[in-house]
Amino acid sequence: MIVMLKLYYSPNSCSLASHIVLEESGAAYELALTNSRDGSTRTPEFLALNPKARVPALLTDLGVLTENPVILGWVAQSFPDAGLAPNDDTFLFGDMQAFNMFLSATVHVAFAHHFRPERYVDGDDHRAAVKAKAAQAVAEQFRLIEAKLSDGRPWVHGERYWTSDPYLLVFSRWLGETGLGTLDDYPHAKAHRARVEARPAVQRALKAEGLS
Ligand SMILES: N[C@@H](CCC(=O)N[C@@H](CS)C(=O)NCC(=O)O)C(=O)O
């Protein structure tokens, strides 16, 4: 039995996906605000939990899990009654994780070129060029997401709300906030965002992070 869960998170960061999924799961958990802006991702205590100095990190009775797709899959499997993943179908579970990995490794990384150009190149001119390229990369990925949703399905994988839905919400929110694009160009993704944000658990998680 899982008795302790503590999520290290930063408001409106990618850890929002793990936060929402914990809230949807019905599990008891604590939140620990951990922000790169105030240096709390670099404290010795946090680095001992996650040497990568990133959120989300989920402290459990068994140890620490990092990486959104892993945390999302683990929460969904650990609290199966919440129906957050196709736990009884390994292929569909893999398909859900493929989408989550795409968000983590491709979509998030496209945004990271905007947020953190210094990770990729040195020099102001080069950084400006990397930032400028981010909008193009993000648009390319959102076109793929829009195509997936364009058959009118309510959720990323069809008729059921799984972990990919709150994870996609993170990037749908970032799109307009960063100025890298607008969801008006992706009407199915825009409707998807509204559906996810209307869920009571999502509202609670957004409120807890001080977001509207
Ligand atoms: N691959 C990781 C990425 C985690 C990540 O980059 N988290 C960001 C917040 S969105 C972070 O902690 N940034 C702090 C920093 O870069 O210093 C995942 O998907 O969980």
- Which pTM value belongs to this model? 0.97
Distance of CA 91 to the CA centre of its chain: 22
CB–CB of 38/62 below 8 Å? no
Q: What residue type is 202 in one-letter code?
A: V
Closest ligand 1 atom to Cα of 105 = 1
Residues 6 or more apart whose Cβ sits within 8 Å of residue 152: 188
CB–CB of 176/183 below 8 Å? yes
Which residue do the tokens 């620490």 mark?
64
**What is the chain's Cα-based Rg?**
17
Nearest CA to ligand 1 atom 11: 54
| Torsions phi, psi for 10 (to 5 deg) | -130, 135
Cβ of residue 55 lying under 6 Å from some atom of ligand 1: yes
Give the model confidence (pLDDT) of 106-162 as tens digits: 999 999 999 999 999 999 999 999 999 999 999 999 999 999 999 999 999 999 999
HSE-CB of 79 using CA atoms within 13 angstroms: 20
Give the model confidence (pLDDT) of 62-101 as tens digits: 999 999 999 999 999 999 999 999 999 999 999 999 999 9
DSSP string, 126-164: HHHHHHHHHHHHHHHHHHHHHHHHTT--SBTTBSS--TH
Cβ of residue 14 lying under 6 Å from some atom of ligand 1: yes
DSSP string, 45-77: HHHHH-TT--S-EEEETTEEEESHHHHHHHHHH
- pLDDT score of 2 more than 90: no
How does residue 191 score in pLDDT terms, banded at 50, 70 and 90?
very high
Cβ of residue 35 lying under 6 Å from some atom of ligand 1: no
What mean pLDDT value characterizes the chain?
97
Cβ of residue 13 lying under 6 Å from some atom of ligand 1: yes
